[in-house]
Amino acid sequence: MTDPKHIKPKAVSALSTGELEGKTALVTGGGGVIGPAYARALAESGAAVALVDIDAGKAQRAAKKLCLDGFKVQGWQADVGVKADIEAAVLDAQNVLGGIDILINNAGYATTMDFEDISEAEFDKVLNANLKGAFFVSQVCVPHMKEKGWGRIVNLTSTVSKIGPGDLPHYVATKTGVIGLTRSLARALGKHGITVNALAPGMVATEPIIALYPESALDNHAARRSIKRWEHAEDLVGPLTYYCSKHADFVTGQTMLVDGGQQFD
Positions marked active-site:
171
Closest distance between ligand NAD and the C-beta of residue 1, in Å? 26
Q: How would you classify residue 35: left for phi > 0, otherwise alpha for psi between -120 and 50, otherwise beta?
A: alpha
Asked whether 239 and 199 are in contact (CB, 8 A), the reply is: yes
The verdict on 165 binding ligand NAD (CB under 6 A) reads: no
Q: In which order are the strands placed within the sheet that holds 255-258? A: 73-77, 48-53, 24-28, 102-105, 151-156, 194-201, 255-258
The verdict on 33 binding ligand NAD (CB under 6 A) reads: yes
Rounded Cα distance, 179 and 183, in Å: 6
Query: Restricting to residues 96-155, which ones interact with ligand NAD according to CB under 6 A?
Result: 106-109, 128-129, 133
Closest distance between ligand NAD and the C-beta of residue 123, in Å? 13
Query: Restricting to residues 191-210, which ones interact with ligand NAD according to CB under 6 A?
Result: 201, 203-204, 206, 208-209
The only residue of 20, 23, 32, 195 in contact with ligand NAD, by rule CB under 6 A: 32
Name the pairing type of β-strands 255-258 and 194-201. parallel
The verdict on 53 binding ligand NAD (CB under 6 A) reads: yes
The secondary structure of 153-181 as a DSSP string is EEEE--THHHH--TT-HHHHHHHHHHHHH
The only residue of 5, 46, 55, 67 in contact with ligand NAD, by rule CB under 6 A: 55
The verdict on 88 binding ligand NAD (CB under 6 A) reads: no
| CA 5 and chain centroid, separation | 24
Residues that bind ligand NAD (CB under 6 A): 28-29, 31-35, 53-55, 58, 79-81, 106-109, 128-129, 133, 156, 158, 201, 203-204, 206, 208-209
